[in-house]
Structure 1
Amino acid sequence: MIMLRALTLFLALTLTFHASVGEAGPIRIKDLVEFDGVRGNDLVGYGLVVGLNGTGDGLRNSPFTEEIMSNILERLGVNVAGEQFRARNVAAVIVTGTLPPFSRTGGQIDVTVSAIGDASSLLGGTLIMTPLNAADGQIYAVAQGTIIAGGAVAEGEAAQVVQGVPTAGVIPAGARVEREVEFDFAGLSSIRLALRTPDFTTAARIEQAINSEFGRGIAAMTDAGTVRLDVDGARMRSPAHVLGRVENILVEPERKARVVVDQRSGTIVMGEDVRISRVAVSQGNLTLRIEEAPLVVQPNPFAEGETVVVPRTNAQIEEELGIGLAEVPDGTSLSEVIAGLNALGVAPRDMIDILKSIKAAGALHAEFVVR
């Protein structure tokens, strides 16, 4: 059976509307911006996982595993020069993590462990002491501990079942900070606030809210994504005290009208500010069925001839009765837009096609994002 779906869109006269745009509730500034200089640093290291139940690297296919295992044993005083290993309980891994801002020596951070060889699982493995380097090549943390893998493996002689990803896992608080990032935060005279979603209106509201809170003009918007904060003008003891007061100020952010659709899962997400002009839509389904029923014809007994297959094809076209032409009125809120689309009685995947057509017709006033 071959399924063909026909989507017909009839447009009525588009009307321009002037509905007021809804605003989001007050949000803390700390949830809207990043403070300049207050950032994490990525760490990476190369290590060895031991204690695996026969699910480690095949050393013939992963010679780097044998090399790192020899280096670790030699550092522990075991002479393995010229020896050949055939163990299946070790695996070479890449260890990654993020050093949070203002981390101090002795603090602990989470790390992620991922196999780089042909190991089939890291379940039950233990990561051996692994230095973690930053982009400058310096060691900032050392990781070690038992891995919590996010999958499971079950296998027999003729079949194997894998759920999740057992070749990657995490070690909560598995790395200890050994070096601090040098940053003179207390000596800053000004700090930039970088908006996570640049917007001129939101930046202007942040500027106004901070100046109202301090009673003086210590904040200035420089562009849609940046607000500069004068720390000295705040007349407080330190930049930390200034940010501690600034980050809890409430601001109503402005958002773009946006529709996000995921064609694989049929998910549709609409922002509150999505508006739709008056439009008429008709949606119907056309089904074409083709069935093959060949007929075998044989000659009579003791007669000359041969068996042949006669093709028989049954073709039908069915068209489901739709709801005709349905009108979606001017949308003044998200709930009215949804109600208008649901009035068509279509599935989410068909609704995605309708939204695309409405956007192409210029009746959907929002950014349309397809993933």
Structure 2
Amino acid sequence: MRRFLSALLLVLAALAAAAPAHAERVRDLGSFDGVRPNQLTGYGIVVGLDGTGDDNFEYLTEAMRGVSGRMGLTLPPGVSPGLKNAAAVMITAELPPFAKPGQTIDVTVSAIGKARSLRGGSLVLTPLYGADGQIYSMAQGNLAVGGLGVSGRDGSQLSVNVPTVGRIADGATVEREVATGFDTLGELRFNLNTADFQTAARMRDAINARYAGAARVVDAVTLSIVMPFGSDARAEMIAGIEMIEVTPAQTPARVIVNSRTGTVVINSAVRLSPAAISHGKLVVRIEEDPLIVQPEPFSRGETAQEEASTISIEEEEARVVAMPGAANLSEIVDALNMLGVGASDLVVILEALKQAGALQAEMVVM
């Protein structure tokens, strides 16, 4: 019996060692079609500001007329009220999937005019619209602003963070539910975050191993999964699928170059073939040493400046470095470090290696 247990432990240890080291859950590789958040936007008015509003902003004035009209107050024609205590704002929010009427969501309020600060303001009741033009939520509440802006009478100003953007926690109430087709469609589609046929095929096989014949590959991004009818059974199946572990396919070989910062990122799939590189630096130096020329005594001449320039050129001895073929990321880094060059020179060398066919990777310049 003891020998049997020992053998069983050895088998389990071998299986654990053979398990994929980089397996990911299905829920981390993509999402089900329709089960996603939706963006909402709206245009509104923030009132109660301490003289930091827009001040006679034309469309703010018209918006205030509309707000006053809804409250039963009609402003006389041609009257432009002083609006330093109000500001025109854009409201944005994200409607979570399956959000129901009566639930609340957070909103972000941003000034779109000349308001200096939204601190201490309150958002007037504002409808939030979806991409289809329908009202899905109503927003209202007091803003929490993390920034601070102050100014002096001489025009000097000081700002800490951004005082023209604020948030209202639970500031909008959901008024309409977004139809997802979750409980009516016979098949649900699962979309990968990154298009890859091999990852899609592996995910199909992993799902079918647990739910026989349920999944099929539509394209490099989408899998179609047959679902049982009934929301309870369907939710249980989706929960099980999302926790299945799949080993994604290796990412394509890429070298990412940020041309603004000089940052170079190389992923582990990059391969380097043997190559020889000659690299040197040319330094051109121009020195200006102007001379002041004085006129002779008792002459009518004037003091003048005579230009004197010295131009020198220095060229470092070019070194020829043999780049060995590298099979992994650490070897590529060691090979590139042999050159001892800066980020900008490294980008040029990588591009030349790509053109010479020695760098098996896609160059992506940001």
2:202 aligned partner? 205
Specify which of 45, 64, 74 is matched with residue 59 of structure 2.
64
1:360 aligned partner? 355
Q: Is the 8 A contact 1:236 1:242 kept in 2?
A: no
Deviations 1:278-302 (A, max 9, x none): 2222333222111222212122111
Is residue 176 of structure 2 the alignment partner of residue 179 of structure 1? yes
1:26 aligned partner? 23
Percentage of pairs with the same residue: 46
Specify which of 221, 225, 234 is matched with residue 225 of structure 1.
221
> What is the CA–CA distance in structure 2 between the aligned matches of 1:28 and 1:339, rounded to whole Å?
34
> What is the CA–CA distance in structure 1 between the aligned matches of 2:361 and 2:160, rounded to whole Å?
40
Give SS of 1:272's match: coil
Cα shift at 1:32: 1.1
> What is the CA–CA distance in structure 2 between the aligned matches of 1:277 and 1:79, rounded to whole Å?
78
> What is the CA–CA distance in structure 1 between the aligned matches of 2:119 and 2:315, rounded to whole Å?
54
Which 5+ residue runs of structure 1 have no aligned equivalent? 1-22
Cα shift at 1:95: 1.0
Specify which of 267, 276, 280 is matched with residue 272 of structure 2.
276
Give SS of 1:301's match: coil
> What is the CA–CA distance in structure 1 between the aligned matches of 2:231 and 2:120, rounded to whole Å?
52
Question: Counterparts in 2 of 1:142-291, with a 5 A limit?
Answer: 142-149=138-145, 151-156=147-152, 157-162=154-159, 164-214=161-211, 216-232=212-228, 238-254=233-249, 255-291=251-287
Q: Go from structure 1 to structure 2 and tell me whether the alpha carbon gap of 1:325 and 1:241 turns closer, same or farther (over 3 Å shift).
A: same
> What is the CA–CA distance in structure 1 between the aligned matches of 2:93 and 2:176, rounded to whole Å?
14
Q: Is the 8 A contact 1:113 1:168 kept in 2?
A: yes
Is residue 276 of structure 2 the alignment partner of residue 312 of structure 1? no
Q: Is the 8 A contact 1:186 1:240 kept in 2?
A: no
Letter in 2 for 1:122: L
1:349 aligned partner? 344
> What is the CA–CA distance in structure 1 between the aligned matches of 2:102 and 2:171, rounded to whole Å?
12
Letter in 1 for 2:218: T
Give the superposed CA RMSD: 2.4
1:37 aligned partner? 34
Report how many residues are paired. 344
Question: Counterparts in 2 of 1:35-114, with a 5 A limit?
Answer: 35-59=32-56, 62-82=57-77, 83-114=79-110
Cα shift at 1:166: 3.4
Cα shift at 1:222: 1.9
Q: Is the 8 A contact 1:188 1:239 kept in 2?
A: no
Moved more, 189-198 or 339-348: 339-348
Q: Go from structure 1 to structure 2 and tell me whether the alpha carbon gap of 1:126 and 1:191 turns closer, same or farther (over 3 Å shift).
A: same
Q: Go from structure 1 to structure 2 and tell me whether the alpha carbon gap of 1:170 and 1:354 turns closer, same or farther (over 3 Å shift).
A: farther
Q: What's the TM-score once normalised by structure 1's chain length?
A: 0.85
Q: Is the 8 A contact 1:297 1:309 kept in 2?
A: yes
Deviations 1:158-182 (A, max 9, x none): 4334454433333333211111123
1:10 aligned partner? none
Letter in 2 for 1:268: V
> What is the CA–CA distance in structure 1 between the aligned matches of 2:240 and 2:140, rounded to whole Å?
38
Q: Is the 8 A contact 1:127 1:145 kept in 2?
A: yes
Q: Go from structure 1 to structure 2 and tell me whether the alpha carbon gap of 1:63 and 1:244 turns closer, same or farther (over 3 Å shift).
A: same
Cα shift at 1:311: 1.6
Letter in 2 for 1:130: T
Give SS of 1:187's match: coil
Cα shift at 1:266: 1.8
Q: Is the 8 A contact 2:26 2:245 kept in 1?
A: yes
Is residue 331 of structure 2 the alignment partner of residue 331 of structure 1? no
Deviations 1:135-188 (A, max 9, x none): 332211111223344644343324334454433333333211111123442122
Cα shift at 1:220: 0.9
Q: Go from structure 1 to structure 2 and tell me whether the alpha carbon gap of 1:315 and 1:118 turns closer, same or farther (over 3 Å shift).
A: same
Which 5+ residue runs of structure 2 have no aligned equivalent? 1-19
1:8 aligned partner? none
Q: Is the 8 A contact 1:194 1:225 kept in 2?
A: yes
Letter in 2 for 1:173: D
Answer 1 or 2: which has greater helix percent.
2
Moved more, 50-59 or 256-265: 50-59
Larger relative contact order (CA 8 Å, sep ≥ 6): 1
1:13 aligned partner? none
> What is the CA–CA distance in structure 1 between the aligned matches of 2:149 and 2:317, rounded to whole Å?
50
